Amino acid sequence: MSIVLVVNSGSSSLKYQLIDVEQSQTLASGLVERIGAAGGHARHRHEGVENDSLGSHWDVAVDIADHEAAFAVMLEGFAAHGPSLEAHAPIAVGHRVVQGGARFFEPTVITPLVKINIDELSALAPLHNPANLEGIEAAQRAFPDVPHVAVFDTAFHQTMPPAAYTYAIDRELAAKHRIRRYGFHGTSHRFVSRAAAEYLERPIEQLRMIVLHLGNGASACAVDGGRSVETSMGMTPLEGLVMGTRSGDIDPAVLLHLERRAGLDTDGVDRLLNSQSGILGLGGHGDMRDLVAARDAGDEAATLALEVYTHRIRSYVGAYAAQLGRVDAIVFTAGVGENSAVVRELALAGLEGFGVEIDPERNAVRGSEARRISTDGSATAVLVVPTNEELEIARQTLQLVRA
């Protein structure tokens, strides 16, 4: 059997998928929302079952006190709507953990010591690691007889050289507070770079590529021979590209200016840069679909927001091309990267002189499979490759427990 339960536990939500890894097939998926708040809500879908007495999915309003209650709701979903967890018992549970620091560079079986380490890394990811840990504790109580594995968002980037991950600040201070670049979205960058090599039918060891994960959060990654050598997110997921609500790169002195001159305190600056910036702050829409619609309707703020968003991507493509020395493929993925032809077109516009040429007709085709959107003459292949972080977590989990 090769069934793995994948758990992504946030502070107020629990997402899960039951995956048959050998078939690359999701058997069930679900989402429990508003944990610890009023107006909780759960959805559970038995994949591949179109309609039974309950409809195509199970959707309930239920108050959920904590993560333990969220798992109880999840189990109810399986019991009411299938598939049966007796007949499709997971042989392991794979957990997404955001921050693995410099300690975790590969998937790791969760022991009491590993939990202490994840907890300790909360200082670097106060919004994420505590919630991941609550999910782990609750899942271990719900599934006590199988191994639980942590798959870290940062792990793939642990191959970055010191020159790429070191900030130019006082070394001792940085070491004391573990201030360095870690990078995130690693599970996605790993999955997508491998899927791109498969699509190109070339060994990944021979390929140099730039992966652009453009979702609500966004990051670029330079992948050399299957290893991350540079990525745009830093100590936190705030650095780098312009995102839905995050500013990405900004002169750090702007923060000082905001505190000294604009009357913002530290929490205010945090909120501004993480939740009120990006395309939301610039163009009034945090969702790329709405932003593009506003631009198409002639909205000037939305037009500038889209230009800033794509200008930043192009800057990173140029920087990573220089770091890699050669680019065999540029790969778009995640919600925006997979769906927005206009973002892809604008981001790579004007790079023909560097051997990067998008074919407008190919770019306009929508699809859920990996595809090439560059011209046949383009020296660099430009691809769209759907990401699947859950499948990647399930694969890594299975590989580890079988080893």
Which stretch, 21-29, 204-212, 308-316, 331-339, contacts ligand AMP (CB under 6 A)? 331-339
Q: Which of 7, 70, 288, 313 binds ligand AMP (CB under 6 A)?
A: 288
State the binding string over 228-257 for ligand AMP (x if CB under 6 A, else -): ----------------x-------------
- When the beta carbons of 107 and 278 are compared against ligand AMP, the nearer one is 278
Q: Binding to ligand AMP by residue 216, rule CB under 6 A?
A: yes
Q: Which stretch binds ligand AMP (CB under 6 A): 10-18, 52-60, 335-343, 374-382?
A: 335-343
CA dist 278 and 100 (Å) reads 26
Among 13, 17, 231, 340, binds ligand AMP (CB under 6 A): 340
> In whole angstroms, how close is the CB of 340 to ligand AMP at the nearest point?
4
Contact 239, 164 (CB under 8 A): no
Q: How far is the CB of 299 from ligand AMP (least distance, A)?
A: 16
Exactly one of 20, 59, 119, 153 is catalytic; which is it? Answer: 153
Does 335 contact ligand AMP by CB under 6 A? yes
Dist. CA 58–CA 50, nearest whole Å: 12
- The answer to whether 339 contacts ligand AMP (rule: CB under 6 A) is yes
Residue 334 binds ligand AMP (CB under 6 A): yes
Which residue's C-beta sits nearest to ligand AMP?
335
Residue 100 or residue 335: which is nearer to ligand AMP going by CB? 335
Q: How many residues belong to the site for ligand AMP (CB under 6 A)?
A: 11
Which one of the spans 103-111, 193-201, 311-319, 334-342 is the region binding ligand AMP (CB under 6 A)? 334-342
Shortest separation between residue 387's beta carbon and ligand AMP, angstroms: 7
Shortest distance, position 210 Cβ to ligand AMP, whole Å = 18
**Catalytic annotation present for 249:** no
Compute the least distance from the CB of residue 263 to ligand AMP, in Å: 31
Among 215, 237, 240, 386, binds ligand AMP (CB under 6 A): 215
HEC letters along the chain: CCEEEEEEECCCEEEEEEEECCCCEEEEEEEEECCCCCCCEEEEEECCCCCECCECCEEEECCCCCHHHHHHHHHHHHHHHCCCCCCCCCCEEEEEECCCCCCCCCCEECCHHHHHHHHHHHHCCCCCHHHHHHHHHHHHHHCCCCCEEEEECCHHHHHCCHHHHCCCCCHHHHHHCCCCCCCCCHHHHHHHHHHHHHHHCCCHHHCEEEEEEECCCEEEEEEECCEEEEECCCCCCCCCCCCCCCCCCCCHHHHHHHHHHCCCCHHHHHHHHHHCCHHHHHHCCCCHHHHHHHHHCCCHHHHHHHHHHHHHHHHHHHHHHHHHCCCCEEEEEHHHHHHCHHHHHHHCCCCHHHCCCECHHHHHCCCCCCEECECCCCCCEEEECCCCHHHHHHHHHHHHHHC
Query: Which of positions 127-156 make contact with ligand AMP (CB under 6 A)?
Result: none
Nearer to ligand AMP, 302 or 321 (CB): 302
Question: Which residues from 344-383 bind ligand AMP, rule CB under 6 A?
Answer: none
Active-site residue list: 153
Question: Which residues here bind ligand AMP, judged by CB under 6 A?
Answer: 215-216, 244, 287-289, 334-336, 339-340
